[in-house]
Amino acid sequence: MNLRYGMEIRAATAAEAPGLATLLAEAGLKVEPRDLAERLAALRQGPGTALVALQWGPPSGVVLLHWHPALTSGPVARLSLLLVAADQRRQGIGRLLLKAAAQAARVAGCERIEIAAETPELEAFCRATGFAEAGARFTRSLRKQGAG
């Protein structure tokens, strides 16, 4: 738990699911609160964590972090989501979430942290917080396309 300026950063629980669903919807990511609660519970059992920033009311931000072994180095942490409520940006919440995520990754034994900056805003944030560009990432669906 990290408290700074009245902001608490801690592991997300099912209790935050409704507020997180609203925060995700604001970013165009629709997830039902019940599904989100189940996913948060499952995440707690695997190699990763979801951290929320709470001040009062619903969550102000969330970071989702997974770690995995790598062939060319020690374990690597990957941020798959870093989101701060639109009306609370530019207040240091993203930096607090990143700092907490980095600490969780260090505790898990990770040597580095990666993020795919998919928006100009996130790219600028990454540069401002010490990330260096390291090529592009690609993804591919594991589901058959066109089957229906």
Alpha carbons 140 and 99: distance in angstroms, whole number: 30
Alpha carbons 134 and 100: distance in angstroms, whole number: 22
Q: Is residue 148 part of a domain?
A: no
Per-residue pLDDT of the chain (148 residues; tens, 9 = 90+): 444 567 889 999 888 899 999 999 998 899 999 999 999 988 888 898 999 998 877 888 999 999 988 888 788 888 888 989 888 888 889 889 998 998 998 888 888 888 887 778 888 888 888 887 777 654 444 466 665 4
Range of the domain at 10: 2-128
Q: Is residue 28 part of a domain?
A: yes
Q: Is residue 143 part of a domain?
A: no
Q: What is the CATH number of the domain that holds 43?
A: 3.40.630.30
Query: Bridge partners of 7?
Result: 4
Q: Is residue 46 part of a domain?
A: yes
Q: Is residue 114 part of a domain?
A: yes
Q: Is residue 50 part of a domain?
A: yes
Which pLDDT score, from 0 to 100, does residue 118 have? 76
Question: Domains in the chain: how many in total?
Answer: 1
Q: Is residue 135 part of a domain?
A: no
Question: Do the Cβ atoms of 63 and 101 come closer than 8 Å?
Answer: yes
Q: Is residue 20 part of a domain?
A: yes
